[in-house]
Amino acid sequence: MFVGTNLTNIRILHGYTRKQLSEMLDITEQAVWQYENGYMSPKLEVINKMKNIFGVKSKYFYSEDILTKNGNTNVQQCHIAYRAEVMNSAQKNQSEAKNIEYLNSFLKIIEKKLYYPPNEIVILRDKIIEYLNNSSEERKIKIEKAAGIAREFLNIGNKSNINLLFMLEKKGAFIFEKAIGEKIDAYSLWSEDERPFIMLGNLKKSAARRNFDLAHELGHLLLHYKVEFSLLDNKSHREYEQEANLFAGAFLLPEKEFTEDFSMLIKKSSPDSYIDLKKKWVVSIQAMAYRAHSLGLLDYQKYRYFNIKLNRQGYKVREPLDDEIKVMKPGKVKSILQLLFDRKYLSLGALLDLLMVDVEFLSNLLGIEMEFFEKYQNELAKEFTISDLNLKVN
């Protein structure tokens, strides 16, 4: 029997309205509604079209999907914190929440084969919340201090940010990469079962800007737990974004160490003077100058002159070293799969069969390149050879 909720889930995951999907299937919008609500089952021809559109197997539409099996109420879309200039549509929120639901359900499946230590991001969040609730200092100072607490707790060190993504994953964050859109840099979310997610956009970005995205989203996860972002007005949304930016600057550029480094610069209003500091901290020149200005190290006139030069030199679009410093990519889930596949705890074929999807679907969902899966696909298609005869010649 056709399971309509499966179609609803995967349609929302891909960001399609019923009308958009009906046009792709060359049927009416009413027919899609009837499929999803159990009033009618699609013909085989329509099922085959849906298989190709969504990258799933036929049985996906006739069995419980992973959301139903694992509980699809683990994500509240109103809690998604976007790093973006504008607030997003309800359709976009719904699609990204569904994306996290699928990821959360996928992680529940593979974790049946694993044991995780306690999630240290959760421990840190509770530590930060306790500090914020009990401190009587003004909000700006509390955020600065929270950033310092977080950096020390996560053992980032005060010499660089080169390993920031690695350390966040190691301490318990689940970080993924996907095409979010041109106007969204990243977003973050706590699932209802206390799993911290950070989703990074996969548009070409520098290592420095990616680090700021990570620190910004960490700020949301720690400072804005359970905030209903989708219900905020524009003014409140901007205020929360400013708080996350303040946290990111303080987290990435610790005051004491950055002040010492900054004092060594000869031409503090010249963007090119910051190139060596960028190499050390892996933070953009623009962000470093802003941090210096906020700390009172760069007065208004010099900061204004700096920004004029930054604009003239085209550094607001592309900075020196952007093409040289390696952009780090999420690696935790990929490493987990490699462990499971290589040690034969789980095969790619068994995983795809369990999920009822094609390998391209899995690649897109996890943000892992297809090349990674090709090795394990080849193992699935292994041909019989002479060595498999296990015979001895007299």
Q: In 89-99, which positions are buried (b, 16+ CB within 10 angstroms) versus exposed (e)? A: eeebbebbbbb
Q: Which of 178, 217, 224 is nearest to 197 (CA)?
A: 217
User: pTM above the 0.85 mark?
Assistant: yes
Say if residues 255 and 295 touch (Cβ distance below 8 Å).
yes
Gyration radius (Cα) of the chain, Å: 24
Q: Domain map of the chain by residue range?
A: 1-63, 332-389
Q: Are 46 and 27 in contact (CB under 8 A)?
A: yes
Separation of alpha carbons 373 and 161, rounded Å: 30
Per CATH, the homologous superfamily of domain 1-63 is lambda repressor-like DNA-binding domains (1.10.260.40)
**In the prediction, which pLDDT does 299 show?**
95
Residue with tokens 């680090």: 211
> In this predicted model, what pLDDT tens digit does every residue of 74-129 receive, in sequence order?
778 888 888 765 555 777 888 999 999 999 999 988 888 888 888 999 999 999 99
Q: What is the mean pLDDT of residues 296-317?
A: 96
Spatial contact of 240 and 227, defined as CB atoms under 8 Å apart? yes
What strands, in cross-sheet order, belong to the sheet with 184-190? Answer: 81-84, 184-190, 196-201, 174-178
Q: What is the largest CA-CA distance in the chain?
A: 91
pLDDT in tens, 1-16: 899 999 999 999 999 9
